[in-house]
Structure formats: C-alpha cells, structure tokens
Amino acid sequence: DAKTTQPPSMDCAEGRAANLPCNHSTISGNEYVYWYRQIHSQGPQYIIHGLKNNETNEMASLIITEDRKSSTLILPHATLRDTAVYYCIVRVSERSRGRRALTFGSGTRLQVQP
C-alpha cells in the first residue's frame, strides 16, 4: 500500500473550516484514500473514503487532486469535539485484491481552539 505523509499537528478555530492535507505521491490506480480519526482513548472512527472523485458526507468532504497524489480532508465547521488525531490511509479495494489491513501512520493531531 502507498505511503502517506501528513503534518504532525494543526490548530483550527472553533467554527472555522479545518483543512487537513495528505500526500500520497506513490498511490496506485486501484488504491483508495481513507480517512479515520481517533479521539483520545477511543477506537478510530471512519470518516470518509474516495478513489478519484471528491466525496462528501455528513461528517466531512474529501478533495482528491486530479493526479491523485494528494488529498485534503475538510471539516466545514470544526467544533471542540473534532479535536483528535486524523489518519490518512491509502489501500487497495477489497474487491480488486483481497483484504488488506489498514496501515496507520502517525496522523495529524488537530487541536480545535475555542
């Protein structure tokens, strides 16, 4: 699975959009971009995933560049409860090549400030 690079930490003001970048320059054509987050002392929580089109759900938006070498997770109106470590993960689709474990990097520690 492709490696990802994320900034170790970011701050965001409450109510503002949080934009979390991720570089995955070695991504392959059949690899998806997944985002998870982990709030302190809890298990990771799935946020969103995508292949090449931008995706949006009730939690966030995922913007993937046209060359797919980077992506940005957007939390449109960050709240204090969004303070967490955010992980960007790249892995193959289960459909295309069996199952692959999630490989978590160090993630980005997002601190939402009041």
Partner 1 sequence: KAGVTQTPRYLIKTRGQQVTLSCSPISGHRSVSWYQQTPGQGLQFLFEYFSETQRNKGNFPGRFSGRQFSNSRSEMNVSTLELGDSALYLCASSFSVRDTEAFFGQGTRLTVV
| CB 101, min distance to partner 1, A | 4
Our CA dihedral for 91, 95, 96, 102, rounded to 10 degrees, sits at 20
Chain-centroid distance, C-alpha 35 = 3
Residue showing tokens 């998870």 = 36
Q: Which is nearer to partner 1, 50 or 78 (CB)?
A: 50
- Half-sphere exposure for 33 (CA within 13 Å, toward CB): 29
> Closer CB to partner 1, residue 43 or residue 114?
43
Measured from the CB atom, the residue of 41 and 53 that comes closer to partner 1 is: 41
- Chain position carrying tokens 């409450």: 14
Residues that bind partner 1 (CB under 8 A): 32, 34, 41-46, 49, 87, 93-95, 98-106
In angstroms, give the least distance from the CB of 12 to partner 1. 23
In angstroms, give the least distance from the CB of 14 to partner 1. Answer: 26
